[in-house]
Structure formats: structure tokens, C-alpha cells
Amino acid sequence: MSTEKKRKQVRVWMDGCFDMVHFGHANALRQGKEMGDYLAVGVHSDSEISKHKGPPVYNEQERYKMVRAIKWVDEVIEDAPYVTTLETMDQYDIDFCVHGDDITTTAEGQDTYHLVKTANRYKECKRTQGVSTTDLVGRMLLVTKTHHQKEGAEIDKAHVGAIGKAESQMTELSLYTDIAKSHIKKFSADDSFSRSPWTGCSQFLPTSRKIIQFSGGKDPQPGDRIVYVAGAFDLFHLGHLDFLEKVAEQGEFVIVGLHTDPIVNRYKGCNYPIMNLHERVLSVLACRYVSEVVIGAPYSVTNELMDHFKVDVVCHGQTPIMPDMDGSDPYAEPKRQGKFKIIDSKNLLTTQMIIDRIIKNRLEYESRNKKKEAKELKIMQHLKNQSEQSI
């Protein structure tokens, strides 16, 4: 009999609000999972977030389900305490806690990880530069088509417009322009230490390595039924998730075709997409129901595409289908082959509804973001003073 002891499973804890779950959250969870064997993720309740940070965009049930769908997550602990305690760690037999290299504080300004840090049960992972919930909310409030340009760019009034149905809620062009200009001025590059590096708008720079890290890297197996869907999947949300969960029931290998930004803007209008193509690729790849992503998929599903990927069925949700540029049905070919299926996810949530939530509570979110950044700046100044004193 072997005298070697079976290696103990390394159990990792991560927690957070996970509001408007995006690829930055997913990348942190991916890094956390790499540090151990089992990843338990604590998600804070609505009341805890409102107390310490301000109102969340997604409710707690939406956030619990979104985190469960991230492919590196093994378990979700609901209503996790805002301050990570040793009692919580012990309750779930956790070896150590992992968090990004940014600052998270309570309403009183206390480090939410001070207990686990003191106990030497804390490790850090790299925060994903270029994206945050605050950043995404800012893009929606800017309401421009140029929100992916470098900060400091002048706002052209011709490019400023309301987002779909929200137009009736905020119709004054001057209001939009003022918000946009003040937001860009606030984050100008000339003021490097007057803003927090963790809160605010920034540029995400995609790399092939990042895509490889998110990709499963698996090919379909012989006999697998291959399912193809296409769309924008902008601000990846619970409506998308429920749709893809239903799509995954149609086969073993799900391919998602993501349309380019100009194509999405053509059929969505206004300042869509809120997230650019590269950001949407990572958001979709993080979903456990997705096997592969086609980056910049054609709007019309062609015979060549179906043949190349050996597609067995093409699925679409119950949202209206806009004709292609020449007026043709983009799903004419799969329909001709008898390989087209409408999927009813039973979830009516849309990207527009998420944006409506933001605009409805605009002042609350702006206040939340300002308070969050003010706390971070105080901590940064304290750390800077400590560093200068130690020299």
C-alpha cells in the first residue's frame, strides 16, 4: 500500500458584490481558481451593499445566478458578510482568501479584509485594468457613441443621444452633454493623483493571451451536436444567461457568434454597444454554457459558416430579427436547411432594461461613485504618506 498521503484539496475563498458581472470579475475568479483546487465565492446581499457602497444595479438573486454561471466557480455562498471573517473561512473549510490588488472598504473606511490579512490567510490577484462596474455605469450615463475613445476627447453634440426608451426620462441634450463633459474632465490625464486608479473610466487593452486564458480550448468530440447562436450579448446579463442555458440543452457544443461594434450599432442604434467587441468576447467566454466564440461573426448566417463549424442547429431568442443590409432574412439559410429553432428562455430582461435602471437611479449611482472614489483617495494619500515617512 502506498505510504503517500493524498494531497489535501486547497480551498479558496473570494467574495464581493459582483454587480453587473463583467469579464473583470470573471478574470479575478479565474486567477483565484488557479491558486487552488476549489473556489467558493461569497456574494453580498442587497442590504449589505446598500449600507456600505450604495444601491446595486442587479438584485441579489440576479447576482447569485450570474456568479454561479462563471465557469471557474465551484460554489456560491449567498449573503456573505461584507467584512470577510475567520469564522466564515473556517465554516467553509477555506485555506485562504483571494482579492484583487485594489482597495475595498466598509462605509466607515475600514479595509474589509483586515481580519484575514492579520491571520495571514490572504492572497492577492491582479485586477483587470480597463473595466469596472463604475466604468460601465459611466459609459451609460455619458450616452455617446464615442465612449471608447481615449479620455480627454471632445464631445460632439451630434454624437450625443438618448438610449432608446430612456429618451422620455432624460430628453435634454444639454444635460447629457454636461454629464459627459464633466465626466471626461474629471478623469483627465493631467491629474494623475487626483483620481483613484480603481474607480473611473479607463481603456481595456485586449491581448491574445487573455483570450486564451478565458477560452476552454476544447474541440467538439465525435458525435457532439453543435449549436450556433449569434448576437451582441452586450452588458452580458441574466437574460443572456438564461437564453444560453436553454441553448445548451440543444446540444453538447455551443458556439456564440459575436457581431462587430458597427453591426451592433446598425441594428441597436444610439450608443450601442456599451461594451466593445473584445470586452464582449471575454464576457461570453466566461459563461460555463459556452464552448467557443466567433469574433466578429457575419450578421447573416451563411452556408459557408454552417459548413465550416459543422453546425447542427441555429438558435435565436424571441427578440425581433432585423433584416440584413440588403433587406434579406439573416437566418434564411438555416431555415432553408431545416436547422433553425426559436428558443424561449422565459426571461424578458434586455440590455435596454438594465440601462433604464441606471438612468432611473442616475443621481444615486453618481453619488455612490463619488463617495467610493473619495474613500479610495483618502487611503491612497495615507499610503503615500506612509511611504514617504519610511524613506
pLDDT in tens, 264-318: 999 998 888 999 999 999 999 999 999 999 999 999 999 999 999 999 999 999 9
pLDDT of residue 53: 79
Predicted confidence at residue 285, as pLDDT, reads: 96
Q: Does the bond joining 273 to the residue before it have cis omega, within 30 degrees of 0?
A: yes
Q: Is 120 exposed, middle or buried (0-12, 13-18, 19+ CB in 10 A)?
A: exposed
Give the largest CA-CA distance in the chain. 78
- Burial level of 12, CB count in 10 A (0-12/13-18/19+)? buried
Cell 454554457 identifies what position?
289
Instruction: For 68-102, write each residue's pLDDT tens digit.
Output: 999 999 999 999 999 999 999 999 999 999 998 77
pLDDT value at position 99? 93
Q: Are 249 and 271 in contact (CB under 8 A)?
A: no
Provide the pLDDT for residue 16.
Answer: 93
So what's the pLDDT on residue 186? 36
Selection from 284, 288, 286, 287 nearest residue 273 by Cα:
284
pLDDT value for 170: 34
Three cell numbers, residue 152 = 480627454
Give the Cα separation of 62 and 60 in Å (integer). 5
Residues of the chain short of pLDDT 50, as ranges, are 1-4, 145-202
